[in-house]
C-alpha cells in the first residue's frame, strides 16, 4: 500500500495533493533499488507486462518516493501491484486520453515558470531521472487512469433515503421495555468443587494464572507543564498559526480562537523545552558512572526508582503511560520517550529510563495459588448455573405472562422508558446491554454482560417503539448520507483490493 510522503520535492508534494484520499493509495510509495529487476514477462487480466514496462513503473515509483526500502524485491512487488490496478481499470474500459496527459503535464507545477510551461524544466526533470518523454507520459497516463477508475467506482456508490432513515432509526429510536436479571453471584453457594476439579481446572488454564514479566527502572522525567510559566508566545506566532490552520476553525474568527491557539502554542513550546532538557541530559548520562540522581538535582528534573511492574501496570506508575521496552537489557539507557499522565488532568512529559532489574513471566505452582484457582472455578461454575437457569425461565417467559413468570421465579421486573436501541441503557445503578440489532419484537435469548464480577444474565421484552424525531432526522440527513457513503466505499474498496491482491498473487 501507498505510504504518503510528507516532504521531498515539488513533484512529491503535488502527487500527494492529487492522490490523497484515494482508496487505492498504493500508486506510489516507498522506493527501492531501481534497475535490478530480472527479465520477466507477466500476464495481468489478460494483458502481458514486459520487463521493460515493469522497469518503467519502478522508475515512476522511484521518482515520487522519499525513502529507500532495503528489500530488493519491494520495488518490483510495488510495481506489480500498480500495474494490476491499472489493467483492472483498462479492462473496465477506463483509460486516460492523450489530451488528459498533455493537460496534466502542461499544468504540473514543477514545470511552470510564472504559470507558464517551460520545456527546459521538463527536459531537465526527465534527464535527472534518465527517462524519455514517452516513458514519463505513459507513467502519467497510468496515474490518471487509476485515479479516473477510482473516481468512477466512488461515484457508483448510491445511498437511498430508506437506508438513511433505517440508519437514523437504529441509532436514535428509543423503546420502552421490561427485563428480568439473574446474577451469577447468587449461584455460588450451589457450586460443589472437589480437589480433582481444582487440579483439572488449573492444568487446563495455566496460562490464565501466569504472572507477567516485570521490570524495575530508574528514570528522569520532565513535565512539560512545569515549563509553561517560562514560555512566551507572540501575537505574530498566534496569527501565523491561525492562518496556517484556518480551515480547522471553519467560521470562527481570529478573535474567537485567539486564546485557544495561544494555549496550544504554549503547550507545544513547553513540551519542546522539556525535550531539550532531556536531550542535554542524555549526553551526560552515557558518561561512565554518571549519577542520575545528581543530574536530576542540578537540572531540576524528577528522578525516581519504580517498583517492579508489568505491561498491564504501566498506567498506574507515577510517570503515567509510556512506551516502555520490556525487552531492553539491564542498564541500557533508553531513547527519550513521551509519557502521558491522566491522574490529575493530563500531563505530558519527556522521560529517559534504564532497567535496573527484571523478573521473567512465571506460572505459579498450584499449591501457591490454590485458593485463587478455586475461587475462579467457582465463578465459572456459577455463571454456568445462572445461564442454564435463565434459559429455562426464558422458555416460560415466551409462553406465559412475563410478570407472572418473573414473580413465580422470585425475579424483579425492571421497567425501562425511552432507552436508545443499539446502546447501553443506564437505569439507576443498573447497567443493561441491549442485544445486537436492538430489542427484538419477541423475547431475546439470555444476554450476558460482565460488569467486573459477577455476570448478569438478562431477558428483555419489548413493550413499544417510540416515534423517531423527524425534525432531527431531516437535520442529520446529509451527515448520515456521508457516513454511509464512506462506509460503503470502504467495503467496496476492500473487495476490489482483495480481488487485485488475489490477481497479484498469481504473478511470479
**What pLDDT is recorded for position 162?**
93
Question: DSSP code of 231?
Answer: -
The CATH number corresponding to 10-156 among 1.10.3720.10, 1.10.10.10, 1.10.4030.10, 3.50.50.60 equals 1.10.4030.10
Could you read off the pLDDT of 43-76 as tens digits, one per residue?
A: 777 778 888 888 888 878 777 664 444 455 777 7
pLDDT tops 60 at residue 359:
yes
d(Cα 228, Cα 6) in Å, to the nearest integer? 30
Could you read off the pLDDT of 113-153 as tens digits, one per residue?
A: 888 888 888 888 888 878 888 989 998 999 899 888 888 87
Residue predicted with more confidence, 217 or 69 = 217
pTM of the model: 0.52
- Tell me the average pLDDT across 230-236: 91
Neighbours of 263 (CB within 10 A): 12
pLDDT tops 90 at residue 433:
no
3-state secondary structure 239-306: HHHHHHCHHHHCCCCHHHHHHHHHHHHHHHHHHHHHHHHHHHHHHHHCCCCCCHHHHHHHCCCEEEEC
CA dihedral 197, 203, 208, 209 (to 10 degrees): 90
pLDDT tops 70 at residue 445:
no
Residue predicted with more confidence, 398 or 23 = 398
Each domain of the chain, given as residue ranges in start order, spans 10-156, 174-205+366-465, 211-359
pLDDT class of 34 with cuts at 50, 70, 90: very low
The grid coordinates of residue 384 equal 454456568
d(Cα 78, Cα 156) in Å, to the nearest integer? 27
pLDDT tops 50 at residue 22:
no
For the four alpha carbons of 360, 364, 368 and 370, in that order, the dihedral sign comes to: positive
d(Cα 202, Cα 366) in Å, to the nearest integer? 7
- Tell me the average pLDDT across 212-224: 94
Amino acid at each position: 500500500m501507498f505510504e504518503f510522503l510528507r516532504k521531498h520535492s515539488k513533484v512529491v508534494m503535488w502527487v500527494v495533493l492529487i492522490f490523497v484520499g484515494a482508496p487505492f493509495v498504493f500508486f506510489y510509495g516507498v522506493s527501492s533499488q531501481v534497475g535490478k529487476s530480472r527479465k520477466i514477462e507477466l500476464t495481468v487480466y489478460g494483458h502481458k507486462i514486459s520487463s521493460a514496462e515493469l522497469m518503467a513503473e519502478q522508475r515512476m515509483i522511484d521518482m515520487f518516493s522519499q525513502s529507500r526500502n532495503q528489500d530488493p524485491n519491494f520495488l518490483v512487488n510495488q510495481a506489480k501491484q500498480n500495474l494490476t490496478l491499472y489493467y483492472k481499470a483498462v479492462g473496465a474500459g477506463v483509460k486516460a486520453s492523450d489530451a488528459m496527459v498533455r493537460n496534466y503535464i502542461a499544468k504540473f507545477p514543477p514545470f511552470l515558470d510564472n504559470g507558464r510551461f517551460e520545456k527546459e524544466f521538463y527536459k531537465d526533470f526527465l534527464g535527472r531521472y534518465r527517462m524519455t518523454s514517452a516513458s514519463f507520459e505513459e507513467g502519467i497516463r497510468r496515474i490518471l487512469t487509476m485515479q479516473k477508475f477510482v473516481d468512477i467506482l466512488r461515484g457508483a456508490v448510491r445511498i437511498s433515503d430508506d437506508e438513511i432513515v433505517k440508519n437514523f432509526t437504529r441509532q436514535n429510536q428509543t423503546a420502552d421495555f421490561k427485563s428480568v436479571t439473574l446474577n451469577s453471584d447468587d449461584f455460588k453457594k450451589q457450586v460443589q468443587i472437589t480437589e480433582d476439579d481444582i487440579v483439572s481446572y488449573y492444568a487446563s488454564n495455566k496460562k490464565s494464572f501466569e504472572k507477567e514479566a516485570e521490570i524495575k527502572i530508574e528514570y528522569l522525567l520532565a513535565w512539560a507543564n512545569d515549563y509553561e510559566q517560562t514560555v512566551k508566545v507572540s501575537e505574530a506566532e498566534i496569527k501565523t498559526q491561525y492562518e496556517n490552520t484556518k480551515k480547522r476553525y471553519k467560521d470562527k474568527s481570529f478573535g474567537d480562537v485567539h486564546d485557544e491557539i495561544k494555549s496550544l502554542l504554549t503547550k507545544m513550546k513547553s513540551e519542546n523545552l522539556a525535550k531539550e532538557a532531556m536531550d542535554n541530559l542524555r549526553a551526560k548520562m552515557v558518561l561512565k558512572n554518571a549519577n542520575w540522581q545528581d543530574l536530576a538535582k542540578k537540572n531540576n528534573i524528577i528522578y525516581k526508582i519504580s517498583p517492579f511492574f508489568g505491561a498491564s501496570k504501566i498506567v498506574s506508575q507515577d510517570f503515567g503511560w509510556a512506551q516502555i521496552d520490556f525487552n531492553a537489557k539491564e542498564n541500557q539507557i533508553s531513547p527519550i520517550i513521551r509519557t502521558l499522565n491522566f491522574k490529575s488532568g493530563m500531563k505530558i512529559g519527556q522521560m529517559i529510563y534504564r532497567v535496573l532489574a527484571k523478573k521473567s513471566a512465571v506460572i505459579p505452582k498450584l499449591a501457591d495459588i490454590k485458593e485463587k484457582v478455586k475461587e475462579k472455578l467457582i465463578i465459572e461454575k456459577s455463571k454456568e448455573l445462572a445461564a442454564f437457569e435463565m434459559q429455562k425461565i426464558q422458555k416460560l417467559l415466551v409462553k406465559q405472562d412475563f410478570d407472572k413468570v418473573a414473580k413465580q421465579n422470585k425475579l424483579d421486573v425492571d421497567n425501562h422508558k425511552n432507552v436508545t436501541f443499539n446502546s447501553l441503557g443506564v437505569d439507576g445503578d443498573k447497567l443493561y446491554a441491549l442485544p445486537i440489532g436492538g430489542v427484538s419484537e419477541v423475547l431475546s435469548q439470555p444476554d450476558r454482560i460482565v460488569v467486573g464480577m459477577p455476570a448478569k444474565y438478562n431477558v428483555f421484552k419489548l413493550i413499544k417503539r417510540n416515534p423517531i424525531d423527524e425534525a432531527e432526522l431531516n437535520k442529520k440527513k446529509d451527515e448520515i448520507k456521508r457516513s454511509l457513503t464512506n462506509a460503503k466505499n470502504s467495503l467496496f474498496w476492500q473487495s476490489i483490493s482483495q480481488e487485485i491482491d488475489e490477481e497479484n498473487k498469481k504473478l511470479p
